[in-house]
Amino acid sequence: MTMTMPPSVLVVGTIFIDCKGFAKQQYNPAARNLGAIRFVHGGVGRNVAENLANLGIATSFASSVDATAIGKEVTERLQRSKVDIGYMVESGQHGMGMWLAILDEKGELAGSISQMPDLALLQESVARKGKEMIRRSTHIALELDLNIQIVRSVIKLAEEEKKPLYGICGNLDVILRHRDILDHLDCFICNNFEADLFFEKDFTNMDIDLKQETIAQFADRTGMRSMVVTLGAGGAVYYDSQTKSAGHQPVFPVNPVDTSGAGDAFFSGTVMGLVMGLPLGQAVICGTKVAGWTIECAENTNLELPEKIELDEYFKNMK
Q: Domains along the chain? A: 8-318 (3.40.1190.20)
Closest CA to 285 of 241, 235, 244: 235
SS3 readout for 58-109: EEEEEEEEECCHHHHHHHHHHHHCCCEEEEEEEECCCCCEEEEEEECCCCCE
- pLDDT value at residue 3: 42
User: What is the average pLDDT value for the chain, to the nearest integer?
Assistant: 93
pTM of the model as a whole:
0.91
> What are the tens digits of pLDDT across the range 112-129?
888 889 999 999 999 999
> Residue 2 pLDDT more than 60?
no
pLDDT (mean) for 27-44 = 90
Q: Mean per-residue pLDDT for 4-12?
A: 89
Residue 111 CB contacts under 8 Å (≥ 6 apart), including other chains: 29, 101, 102
User: To which H or E segment does residue 25 belong?
Assistant: none
- pLDDT confidence tier of residue 5, bands split at 50, 70 and 90: confident
pLDDT tens, 291-310?
A: 999 999 988 899 999 999 99
Strands 187-191 and 226-230 come out as: parallel
- Of all residues in the chain, the percent with pLDDT exceeding 90 is 79
Task: Lowest mean pLDDT of 70-84, 87-101, 141-155, name the range.
Answer: 87-101
Q: What pLDDT score was predicted for residue 155?
A: 97
Measured distance CA(83)–CA(310) in Å, rounded: 19
